[in-house]
Each structure stands twice: as structure tokens, then as C-alpha cells.
Amino acid sequence: MEPIVSIAAMPTAASSPAVRALRGATTVDADTREQVRDRTVALVDRMLADNGIEHDDLISVLFTATDDIHSMFPALAARESGLGDVPLMCARELDIDGAKPLCIRILMHMSTSRARDELHHIYLEGAADLRDDLPS
């Protein structure tokens, strides 16, 4: 006969680690290596801190940049700030009329016990108004 397991003792979605994705974006005032580096690192640091994400929780990070950013790969800034062992990739954002200029976006994949609605997506600088439909 199978032992009876209490439902209360079973792991819930909020307590079981799951792969989740976190969004973030920032802008630079000018396309310089210093601004791209500083704003990218500030965004990554804030995404990690506000969501209680440890380095070993990270699975991968995708960075996109608008066509007006040429001075530096945002992934290089993250690599130099300590994420060198995390898979990082850069891509071009679609060039859409009226889109936010000088913008760096991040899609961060991680393992977390937090439920999706407990994640805080981070939008800084001129990107603060991009996604008011996501929790922040």
C-alpha cells in the first residue's frame, strides 16, 4: 500500500525551483563605452538585487541594443563585471519607427523558487516607461 502524503507537505510552484525569465531595459544618453558599460552593469546589478538572484541561479542572458549603439557590446560590460561564466549573447533590436532610441534591453533566464508574479522587472533611465504592464 502506498504511503499517504499530505498535500501541505508537497512542494508548491512557488517553492520548487523553476526556470523563469526576467525583463529589463535602460537607455544611454550618448553612445560611449563608459555609458554603455555603466548603464548595463547598473541594470544587471539591480535586476539581480531586486529579485534575490544569486550568480549561480543564472542560466543565460540575452542583451539587445538599438541600431544607434555601436561603442560596446552590452554583454561585454556584463562579462567584465563578473558574469564571464554565464552564457551571454547580444542581438540587434528591431529598427521600428518611433521606438525608444539608445536603448539596451535584457532578457535574463534563471532558476528561482519565486513565482512569476513575484518577479520584479526593472526599467531604468529613459526606459522607465516602456512596460508599465509588468510588475516592477
pLDDT of residue 126: 87
pTM attached to this predicted model: 0.84
| 20 in active site | no
Residue among 31, 48, 33 nearest 109 (CA)? 48
Whichever domain contains 92, its CATH number is 3.30.1330.40
Answer yes or no: is 108 within a domain. Answer: yes
User: Is 23 a catalytic site residue?
Assistant: yes
Residue at 5 is within a domain: no
Does 95 map to a domain?
yes
Identify the pLDDT of residue 1.
58
Q: Which domain holds residue 49?
A: 19-127
Does residue 94 belong to any structural domain of this protein?
A: yes
CA distances for 90 relative to 10, 13, 84, 95, 136, angstroms: 40, 31, 14, 15, 24
Residue 9 lies in a domain: no
Q: Is residue 14 part of a domain?
A: no
Is 79 designated active site?
yes
The domain tally of the chain equals: 1
The predicted pLDDT at position 16 comes to 82
Euclidean distance between CA atoms 131 and 24, whole angstroms: 9
Place of cell 548603464: 39
Is 105 known to be catalytic? yes
Instruction: Give domain status of residue 134, yes or no.
Output: no
- Across the chain, which has 136 residues, the per-10-residue mean pLDDT values are 54 72 97 98 97 95 97 96 96 93 97 93 91 57
